[in-house]
Every structure is written in C-alpha cells, then in structure tokens.
C-alpha cells in the first residue's frame, strides 16, 4: 500500500491492477476505525559486527546507532505526513549468531533521541523489546504515550514481520508510532487530554 492509493475523505484504498494477484484493479472500503488509527513502523536491518563472538565493550555499536536513528527519523517523517504522533515504541531483533544484548546496544537513548526529535519530542521513555530470532519471526512492538506513561488508553502495539530478516549476522531495529490510543479504550486512568506531559509519567 502507498499513501497515493488511499483516499481518506472517501475512506477507500484503490489497489492498482499491476499489484493485484488477479491483474484487475480493486477498491477496498476502509472502516471508520481503520481511518481513525494510523500506526507506522520504520525498520532498518544492519550487519552485526559482533556476530559469533563475545565482545565486552559494546560502546562502538551504541555510538553507531545515532546515525541509524537519524536516518529512520527522516523516513518516518516522510511517511507520517501531517499526522500527529501520540505514542511510540521500539524493538530490536538480533540474528541467531548474535546476542540479545547486541540488539539492546542499538536501542539506547543514543538511537532513540533523534527519533524523539523527529516526532516533536517526548517526555516518556520509549517502550522497547528485544530478542534473538530467525528471519520472518512475528515482531510485537509495544506502544505507550510519548509524554505520559500513565495514559492507559495508549498501551497498545503493532505486529509486523520482516520476511527475510534478520539473518544470523544481522540485527533488525524497528521504531513504531501511532496517532492515537486504542479504539474504545475505557479502563480508566489518566486521559490523554488531561496529562501534564512534564515528567514522562503524568
């Protein structure tokens, strides 16, 4: 899907014939909920220089992650357009020849700060998850409000699959954002419109 194929006013997605399995153009109606929630994920797959070896000092990986975050932030902004970001989350998947800690080294604040800047700031820490896995594993990216973690309506997530990544000597990093909380959220707690957004909690 590309944004050029989506008509938000008429709530339709027009699939061109060149991308349809049967070779015929098709129009899909988008429900109110589909149009209301926008979740965007940006992924990068990089070579793991420490695959297959035990290295104590991971600071070079941490330092290199800043440029990865900056480039992912540019792609994120191009994809989002005019949509406001209310929640975010990140994930790292190390290939099977690497360690889980290698993925963590690429997800510190060094990586995250350029992405925070790209979405207009964020007072709350960015929810994250890491693991070792083979290519094609389902990835659940946790989401939470970017300015106040106590906003329960924004505890959410996005599931995606990278069919051919990460290979054993690779690491996949994913940053995900959403433009609102869950549809029909009603379990109480701090409301998004009532948050102070000062300390990352309330």
**C-alpha–C-alpha distance, residues 66 and 56, integer Å:** 20
From the list 135, 4, 18, the residue with the least C-alpha distance to 81 is: 4
User: For every one of its 202 residues, what pLDDT tens digit does the chain have, with 9 covering 90 and above?
Assistant: 666 788 867 888 898 888 887 889 889 888 877 767 789 999 999 999 999 999 999 999 999 999 999 999 999 888 887 788 999 999 999 999 999 999 999 999 999 999 999 998 999 999 999 999 999 999 999 999 999 999 999 999 999 999 999 999 999 999 999 999 998 899 999 999 999 988 889 9
Q: Does domain 37-194 have CATH number 3.40.190.10?
A: no
Strand order in the sheet with 26-29: 6-7, 12-15, 26-29
Residue ranges matching CATH 3.30.1330.110 in the chain: 37-194
Strands 12-15 and 156-161: unpaired
């Amino acid at each position: 899907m590309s944004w050029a194929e989506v008509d938000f006013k008429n709530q339709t997605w027009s699939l061109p014939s060149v991308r349809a399995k049967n070779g015929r153009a098709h129009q899909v109606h988008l429900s109110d909920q589909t149009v209301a929630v926008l979740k965007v994920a940006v992924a990068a797959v990089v070579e793991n220089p420490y695959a297959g070896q035990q290295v104590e000092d991971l600071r070079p990986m941490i330092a290199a992650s800043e440029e990865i975050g900056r480039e992912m932030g540019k792609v994120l902004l191009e994809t989002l357009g005019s949509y406001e970001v209310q929640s975010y989350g990140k994930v790292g998947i190390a290939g099977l020849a690497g360690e889980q800690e290698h993925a963590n080294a690429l997800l510190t604040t060094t990586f995250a700060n350029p992405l925070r800047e790209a979405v207009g700031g964020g007072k709350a820490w960015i929810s994250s998850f890491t693991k070792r896995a083979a290519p094609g594993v389902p990835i659940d990216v946790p989401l939470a409000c970017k300015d106040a973690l106590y906003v329960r309506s924004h505890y959410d997530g996005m599931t995606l699959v990278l069919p051919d990544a990460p290979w054993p000597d690779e690491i996949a990093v994913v940053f995900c954002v959403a433009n609102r909380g869950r549809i029909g959220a009603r379990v109480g707690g701090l409301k998004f419109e009532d948050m102070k957004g000062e300390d990352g909690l309330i």
